[in-house]
A and B are shown apart, each in its own frame.
Chain A
Amino acid sequence: MKPAYYGKAPTTLMPDAAVLSIRNVSKTFGQRRALDGVSLNVTKGEMIALIGPSGSGKSTLLRSISALQTIDAGPGEIVAFDGPVQKDGKIDSNVRKTRTRIGMIFQQFNLVGRLSLFTNVALGSLGRISFWQAALGLWPAETKLAVMAALHRFGVSDYATQRANTLSGGQQQRGAIARALVQKAKIILADEPVASLDPVSARRVMEILRELNKTDGLTVLVTLHQVDYALRYCDRVVALKAGKVVYDGPSDGLKREQLIDIYGPEFEDVFWEGAPT
């Protein structure tokens, strides 16, 4: 089915059910190529792990998708839903609207430490409520209920009134996921969400992401440093090496040889709980 449009034809068309399309994206920091012609299509409801050694461009790719940084000028573009995020090195002027549908989870949680957990999660509604409500923190009843429901769901509602910086890493990360839920995000981008957590909290966070994918139908794109987590929780794995996609396929297709190719002969180091033989 072709979408109906008026006036100027969009330069880009997305295949049906695709929610995210990354086409030929490059990003250079000084002399270093962080992304080198990366293309990736993400379909609704997928759970994808983005793996690769440090500096392979995983975080750069996620940050480009939420337009927290620009990509290089050139043919590269990123499209989320039907809205362009950025193209030819320029962030689209409507990006705020697109961002409200993309939740971002960070390695360092990025909650505002001096605000309460409740307020931090309520910030998820900033893009949806009126300008003055948002500026003055007059959260509508609908937001308040959504915040408490999300906090309750992830078992941190007891800490709602506590300052975020008094909470443990795992509690903060669950708060950050609750913020994405209040945001009503359809895609969740998680940038090393478990790298700063202890193994128990890490598993809890990964299980929450998996549950959001399975029961809420959210599309999840998660960068992981622990390959065993990628294999256990994700259906599809995309591996980056020096800014290029070197593997894109089902997680059970990722064998020893590919891992050696991606991480080098010391690849066992990237497994927390034992490498495949």
Chain B
Amino acid sequence: MTVQSGAIPPPPSRTLLQRLPDLALWGGLIVLLMVAFGPAEINKLPLLFSKSENMQQFGSEFLKPDFTDWKLYVGQMWLTIQIALWGTGLAILAAVPLGLLASRNMSPSFIQIPVRRFLDIVRSAPDLVIGTIFIVAVGPGPFAGVMALAINTSGVLAKLFSEAVESIDRGPVEGVRATGAHKLHEIVWGVIPQVAPLWTSYALYRFESNSRSATVLGLIGAGGIGQLLFDSLNGFAYSRTAAIVVIIIAAVSLIDMLSQAIRSRLL
């Protein structure tokens, strides 16, 4: 190493012009929030406190959950979880090939780009809309819920899967290729082992959020605990509603904890 001579250069500093993009971004965000203040009715914020006695009355019924039909609730909760299980399972089956096809480092751009756009479309269609379409096609019931979850989730998972594939280390793949392996064997032995922990983690996370979404799907008649929830809510049976909500919260947090435990072991 040679010793440098001369003055020590000054520390880096940014001119006003260089800071301008940052200022514009933050300023724009503040302006946007101010514009949205009226339409979002944020001025009603004080009502939360001035009308608190209404909420108290409503809440007191909720505090007396009625568990007489608990067997029915647990059974329907289990049905909801089974809908989520199959919805996620089918989505994983579709997402593995789609995710590989959508990865820039796995497939040529004339396949990769159309697959990406297709996934964007699949992802942007809400569960509720797809569910309604399937209720028309196959009739109301759990299967419509399964299909609604499967389609939306395969779009999301395929995108997440492809991003995991795009960030792999090329070296081991080249190591497998250099043995004279088939392209598919490169994927099985070079790519999948590298992405397996992330893929599993994403799939488990989607199972978690699907067991929540499956509840909402009951709203449109896709069966499960959600349907019971909305029926009792519409019948002003707040004590029964409270019991159902407790069971949903318990089940969803149980699934959350379980899948988090599995995921933390994987990574």
Which A residues contact B (CB, under 8 angstroms)? 66, 68, 96-104, 106, 108-115, 119, 123-127, 131, 134-135, 137, 176, 179, 183
Contact = CB atoms under 8 A, between A and B. Distances in A.
B180 A126 contact: yes
B237 interface: no
Contacts of A131: 182, 184
A66 B178 contact: yes
Contacts of A124: 179
Contact of B196 (A108, A114, A127, A179): A114
Given A68-B174, A110-B174, A110-B175, A115 B182 contact: no
Contact of B193 (A108, A110, A112, A126): A112
12 contacts: A99-B179, A104-B175, A110-B175, A114-B196, A123-B176, A123-B181, A124-B179, A126-B176, A127-B179, A135-B185, A179-B179, A183-B179
Given A104-B175, A176-B175, A114 B194 contact: yes
A115 B181 contact: no
A176 B171 CA distance: 12
Contact of A110 (B172, B180, B184, B185): B172
Interface in B62-114: none
B180 A99 contact: yes
A68 to B, nearest CB: 5
Interface residues of B, number: 20
Contacts of B178: 66, 68, 99, 102-104, 110
Contacts, number: 84
Nearest to B170: A110
A111 B178 CA distance: 12
Contacts of A98: 180
A115 B189 CA distance: 9
Q: Pick the 4 closest A-B CB pairs, nearest first.
A: A127-B180, A110-B175, A100-B180, A104-B178
Contacts of B181: 96, 123, 126-127, 134
B193 A99 contact: no
A114 B194 CA distance: 7
A66 B184 CA distance: 18
A97 B180 contact: yes
B190 interface: yes
Contacts of A97: 180
B177 interface: yes
B171 A110 contact: yes
A150 B10 CA distance: 59
Nearest to B188: A135
